[in-house]
Amino acid sequence: MAALSKHTTARVPWGSILRNRRVWTVIATHALSNVGYYALLSWVPTWYTKGLGLGIQMAGALSFMPYIAGSLVAPFIGRTADGMLRCGWSLKSVRKIFQAVALLGPATCLAVIAAAGRWLGPLSQAGLLVLAQIFHTCNRAGLFCSHADLSPRYAGALLALSTTAGAISPIAGIAAIGKLVEITKSFSLGLFAPIALLQIAGALVWLLTSSFERQKFDDE
């Protein structure tokens, strides 16, 4: 009982956590991922109405579809990742693959819209956004598992840090997207291309610097 009490009342070693580069990989990846997610959430309805000339009802229905698709796919993401681990895939491979798909998949879909949107109809572009959100849902087996990988004891604190970064970063990102759309007078150049680049940047950060070994601060 004494050991349990000591464990549950221990202070979070914020100094060690904030000096840990693996933690900063998670924070940076979460921030870059969320800029894209919330920028699309904020600007896609406007793109449907002003960029494609759709009515409000149609724009609302199409805007909602990606998130329905993502919620339906999410349970299968975890099962697929668990199945890969049972089949002998390393934890490192599973985490890197799923998060890379969660970032590079949407980047590819958005790049196609940015480059070829004028030749695609509204439904084709809406389908690409649905596919982008399905890819994004793969972060459930990548980024959102990495907190517990690094520190089972302080996973909540790590999640709080990365979620805070993921909540703050879109504030400036959404405003910047609006400015870019205004300057370029193009949703392709102002919305979709910049978000695709941010997702690629997040994937590079993840693939080059992430680690999933339990960190020393977990014992503090």
Sequence ranges of the domains in the chain: 17-215
Integer Cα distance of 108 and 105 in angstroms: 5
Q: Contact at 8 Å (CB) between 25 and 206?
A: yes
Q: What local confidence, expressed as pLDDT, does residue 10 receive?
A: 66
Confidence check: pLDDT of 5 > 80: no
- Domain 17-215 superfamily per CATH: MFS general substrate transporter like domains (1.20.1250.20)
What's the pLDDT tens digit per position in 119-135?
A: 898 999 999 999 999 99
What's the pLDDT tens digit per position in 177-214?
A: 999 999 999 999 999 999 999 999 999 999 999 999 99
Distances (CA, A) of 163 to 55, 77, 156: 34, 21, 10
Tokens of 69: 């698709």
**Residue 158 CA to its chain's centroid (Å):** 16
Integer Cα distance of 111 and 104 in angstroms: 10
pTM of the model: 0.91
